[in-house]
Structure 1
Amino acid sequence: MTLLSSLPRKLRFTIVLAAAASLAAGLCSVGMIAVINRVLATQGAGAARLALPFAALALAVLACRTLASTLFVQVSQSALARIRAQICARFIGAPYAHIEQTGNARVQAALADDSTHVANGLSVIPVVLTNAMVVLGCLAYLAWLSWQTFAIACAIILAGSWFYHRNHRRALVHLKQASAAQDVLHGQFKALVAGARELKLNQDKQHGFLHGALEASLEAVRAARTRGLSIFFVALGFGSFLFFAVIGGVLFAPRATPLAPAVMTGFTIMFLYIMSPLESLLNALPALSMARLAYARIEALGADAEPEAPARPLPAAPFVSVALAGASHRYFHEAENSFFALGPVDLELRAGEIVFLVGGNGSGKTTLAKLLAGLYPALAGEARYNGAAVDPTHLADYRALFSAVFSDFHLFETLLAHDPRDDALANRLVERFQLGHKVSVRDGRFTTQALSQGQRKRLALIVACLEGRPVLVLDEWAADQDPLFKEIFYREVLPELRAQGKAVLVISHDDRYFGVADRVIRIENGQIAQPARDGGAPAQAPQAPPARRHDDALAAPAA
């Protein structure tokens, strides 16, 4: 799909109108030069008669250029906003495994650099159209003056265009290299911010980062972009030289070009005038080329991943269980340069049950949790809901059963999908989680996130509870909690969640609290290493979850 075809009809109509205004501006500019040449050729004899047409043409150029530029600014900014929205929608609409593979740096480059290059390419279209019309109009006027002048002009333009096109292809190679290097640079920028604390603590690390990886990325972008753009401007300079050479030949070697004085004057004026529009036209081509490359990169983002089907309402049936049956998954482990295989595993979470998932680092705990939650599709086996197999093409429906707080969670500034009734319940939960002295919820927004990691995890759990979904996944949630609230979490919060009928999967290393669980499952090297065992608390019978978004059992005062 091309950029223009992807735009809505209203914007395409605006582009047509702006293009017409640009062409009209170029045509009127040629008319002005023709009037000037006529006055010079007649030595001012018809100046009074031509003054009004000249003024009309000047005003028309002003009006048409202003209209075209204004319209194209609207188009470029609308297209920029639309492209960025499409990038975000395409990114989040792709399968989660593809999202992880794409990475932050590539998406940031698309949103910041590629989309901006596309908008800049649209903004130079009036320059291209106007100056293209000026060049064509000047050539037509030269043909009317003398076919010899027209032939000379065409020969020069063809020679300059051939030289430019030859170098244009070379320049694009370097610009593509610069775009690829820009992705890496965005990753370094992210590392600079995320690792600022570590860099401040260690001057050697700071020096190594600034003068190693970051400097190498900056230099790669600079060198590739400098080479590409330099080739463009060398070609432009050669084209200007050709024009001056021909003008010099006409003026200083009149025997080689026997033209009438009036024709020679018109030829010189036209050539001097055509140089600026032609240079502007060629100067705009790099922006168009970069826009084309950038849009191709945007189109390639997620092109190899089929978007997931949107979630549909689940059947209005009491929640009983979710399960994996013979499910497996694998992914490439860059640190070890090998594939990590999970499964096949069988795992069931029932309503009103707390299951602890334990194991060493790298054993596959988080991968198993993501597989159970439908973030990863099972390469073999299947996911089940209430005993029935889940259609792999509709994992979004299955994911609607889950809320999760992963170890690398993100806490949004607002309660997305906000219900005004959530504020009161959210503030009761804030008090229940001992955060009332630091934060509250107003109009669906946390008053602050300037909290410790453990406190922010409490807010993330509050958000998960407000979603009112029957399955809750907590990945190392208690790792950053102080001893007092860790005790509250295991002894009070988890039992209360069980009492609500939720199925809770807790990834934990806190063996002193394993007795809280109904079952403890150990995983090693991607395999369940021992059968599930009872944790000491009987599982309740399956029951329907409470009414969505209005259960405030957790908001009761701490015992």
Structure 2
Amino acid sequence: MKLLDFFNKESRAPKRQIIFTALISGLANGYLLTIINNAAETVNKSEALQISNFFLFLIDLILLIYTKQYSLKQATVAAEDAINRVRIRVADKLRATELPYIETAGHAKIYASITQDTSLISESAIILINACQQMIVVCICLLYIAYLSIPGFIITVSVLSVSVLMYLYNSKHISAQLHNVANKESEFFNGIKSILVGFKEIKINKKKNDALFTHIETIAKDAKEIKVAAGLNFVIELMFAQTSFYILCASIIFVLPVLSATQIDQVVGITIAILFLFGPLSMVVSAFPMFVRANVAVENIYQLEHEIDQSSKTQQPQLPDAPVFETLEFEQVSFHYPQQSEGTPFGVGPLSFKINKGETLFIVGGNGSGKSTLLKLLAGLYYPLSGDIYINDRLLESDDYAHYRELYSTIFTDFHLFDRLYGIEDVDVRRVEELLKTMGLSKKTNFKNQGFTNTDLSTGQKKRLAYIASVLEDKQIYIFDEWAADQDPEFRQYFYEVLLKDLKAKGKTVIAVSHDDRYFFAADKVIKIEYGRIID
């Protein structure tokens, strides 16, 4: 089973001890059947034997409680250890993967695997150990039935085998249904994300609001129908399992005496064993849906990890120091997005230009012209499909990208404002306070414990706070994607006439997307791009 392979591969817990104590627990549980049957046969026959059976019962019960408790506790530890290792590993791989994968994979799918699927696996650990223990009890009961009557054993095994085979056959269909449910859940989460992220837009547009809700409602309905179908199959399997037990009891009572010379004590003993068998086997059967779901969850996690591995091209550098920047040159560089539907896929290029250290470059163009794509190529977030990039007159290879990216500090239009200054050591608190005052944020937020006390700001204020973090990173090249677009006239002018000049004076290279043609004098070069190509 994939779930067992998962725990064996991912957990560092003492698996042999867990298995050994689970085995002892199962044997102790099964031995209770023998003690109870022996005690029942000696009622009113021998007081000494009854006392002996009573003490055996107590000793066996204590052993059962201790071993079962130990195995279940250790199983919980093993499950959480495995989940923690996988979550950390996936998170580590996520930070090393490439931007195109993050853009196309969908956040909902990643969130679902790391949260829902791992939680389901965690919940299955105790059920798995308990089911294994109960399987041992089932085996002991079958051996006891074989001891009492071989024909009875054959009848019992035959009925149970047919039932289990039919159960397993139907479980394949249930597993496929659960895979479809997982996909629908990801779509549903994407819909909820659209409500949260696009709340302002849908709040002022009832038609858009209703259409989005209808889409989410359709997805939820489809997911419900698949879940109901899977649940009904589980119910059918559960009822079939219970019916099989009744058929088995009837076969022992009515059929076995006809097929072989069986004494009443044997029939009673076998019937008691089957009744004793009913509880453990019911637990195993009822746990099977959890195993199926957990197996699907394991497949989802490993599939996500495989996709991340496939999309990763570079490794994190051991020394993240960037090269000393002098020149950057694009030579016939082209990039195209994967084609999602009919028509020509959007892209940029071929692009050829050169940037020197200390220059300020403005990129202008209409919406959809390819400016943001060009910035991602410049920052090394996209790989060119053709053409060459030269850094300091040296060809940039794919293995160089992790090193090359360290040149940049970026503020994209869809930037994320971190609440802490990650990666910046020995922060000068006085300088941060001065920057907050300069950017008009000292009354909005403060710097404390390596982070900002408040990030719930307007878009323009968030960009100013992001600028402070960017400056503190002290990188060689700065990318600003329409940074001034959300600023008031005062800060817009301050950005072009003061901030950019300060960066230039410090020898920094600035690449900015701008629509403010009245401030083009602040740039050393201006590139105009339309339909993915430089036209001026």
Deviations, residues 139-184 of structure 1 (Å, cap 9, x unaligned): 1111111111211110111011111012111111111111111111
Q: Which residue of 1 aligns with 2:258?
A: 256
Q: Which residue of 1 aligns with 2:494?
A: 488
- Aligned CA distance change for structure 1 residues 86 and 521 (closer, same or farther; 3 Å): same
Deviations, residues 277-300 of structure 1 (Å, cap 9, x unaligned): 112112222222222222222222
Q: Which runs of 5+ in 2 are unaligned?
A: none
Q: Which residue of 2 aligns with 1:236?
A: 238
C-alpha distance in structure 2 between counterparts of 1:370 and 1:126, whole Å = 50
Q: Which residue of 2 aligns with 1:218?
A: 220
Q: Which residue of 1 aligns with 2:376?
A: 370
Q: Which residue of 2 aligns with 1:41?
A: 41
Superposition pairs of residues 115-154 of structure 1, within 5 angstroms:
115-154=118-157
- Aligned CA distance change for structure 1 residues 337 and 417 (closer, same or farther; 3 Å): same
- 1:320/1:351 contact within 8 Å kept: yes
- Aligned CA distance change for structure 1 residues 517 and 10 (closer, same or farther; 3 Å): closer
Task: Kindly state the Cα deviation for residue 335 of structure 1 after the two structures are TM-superposed.
Answer: 8.3
Specify which of 451, 458, 467 is matched with residue 452 of structure 1.
458
Three-state SS of the structure 2 residue aligned to 1:384 is strand
Deviations, residues 367-401 of structure 1 (Å, cap 9, x unaligned): 00100110001111222222211221231110011
TM-score (norm 1): 0.90
C-alpha distance in structure 2 between counterparts of 1:315 and 1:277, whole Å = 61
User: 200-209 or 52-61: which moved more?
Assistant: 200-209
C-alpha distance in structure 2 between counterparts of 1:283 and 1:124, whole Å = 10
2:163 maps to 1:157: no
Three-state SS of the structure 1 residue aligned to 2:335 is strand
Q: Which residue of 1 aligns with 2:347?
A: 341
C-alpha distance in structure 2 between counterparts of 1:105 and 1:13, whole Å = 31
Write the letter of the residue equivalent to 1:185: F
Three-state SS of the structure 2 residue aligned to 1:304 is helix
- 1:422/1:466 contact within 8 Å kept: no
Deviations, residues 393-424 of structure 1 (Å, cap 9, x unaligned): 23111001111000000011111124233433
Superposition pairs of residues 8-407 of structure 1, within 5 angstroms:
11-45=11-45, 46-210=49-213, 212-251=214-253, 255-256=257-258, 258-301=261-304, 302-313=308-319, 318-332=324-338, 334=340, 338-407=344-413
C-alpha distance in structure 2 between counterparts of 1:510 and 1:325, whole Å = 28
Write the letter of the residue equivalent to 2:197: A
- 1:420/1:443 contact within 8 Å kept: no
C-alpha distance in structure 1 between counterparts of 2:251 and 2:107, whole Å = 58
Specify which of 390, 394, 408 is matched with residue 414 of structure 2.
408
Task: Kindly state the Cα deviation for residue 37 of structure 1 after the two structures are TM-superposed.
Answer: 0.8
- Aligned CA distance change for structure 1 residues 457 and 380 (closer, same or farther; 3 Å): same
- 1:84/1:111 contact within 8 Å kept: yes
- Aligned CA distance change for structure 1 residues 415 and 250 (closer, same or farther; 3 Å): same
- 2:13/2:74 contact within 8 Å kept: no
Report the number of matched residues: 529
C-alpha distance in structure 2 between counterparts of 1:176 and 1:44, whole Å = 58
- 2:321/2:403 contact within 8 Å kept: no
Deviations, residues 168-227 of structure 1 (Å, cap 9, x unaligned): 1111111111111111111112112112223333444333333x1111121222221222
Specify which of 474, 485, 503 is matched with residue 479 of structure 1.
485
Write the letter of the residue equivalent to 1:320: E
Give the % identical residues. 28
Three-state SS of the structure 1 residue aligned to 2:478 is strand
C-alpha distance in structure 1 between counterparts of 2:10 and 2:440, whole Å = 53
- Aligned CA distance change for structure 1 residues 457 and 179 (closer, same or farther; 3 Å): same
C-alpha distance in structure 1 between counterparts of 2:9 and 2:339, whole Å = 46
C-alpha distance in structure 2 between counterparts of 1:110 and 1:87, whole Å = 10
- 1:185/1:217 contact within 8 Å kept: yes
Three-state SS of the structure 2 residue aligned to 1:383 is strand
- 1:164/1:232 contact within 8 Å kept: no
Three-state SS of the structure 2 residue aligned to 1:310 is coil
C-alpha distance in structure 2 between counterparts of 1:464 and 1:336, whole Å = 40
C-alpha distance in structure 1 between counterparts of 2:127 and 2:24, whole Å = 16
Write the letter of the residue equivalent to 1:48: I
C-alpha distance in structure 2 between counterparts of 1:38 and 1:315, whole Å = 77
Superposition pairs of residues 505-524 of structure 1, within 5 angstroms:
505-524=511-530
- 2:323/2:403 contact within 8 Å kept: no
TM-score (norm 2): 0.93
- Aligned CA distance change for structure 1 residues 305 and 332 (closer, same or farther; 3 Å): closer
- 1:422/1:444 contact within 8 Å kept: no
Higher helix share: 2
Three-state SS of the structure 2 residue aligned to 1:124 is helix
Write the letter of the residue equivalent to 2:66: A
- 1:121/1:288 contact within 8 Å kept: yes
Three-state SS of the structure 2 residue aligned to 1:413 is coil
C-alpha distance in structure 1 between counterparts of 2:359 and 2:283, whole Å = 71
Three-state SS of the structure 1 residue aligned to 2:389 is strand
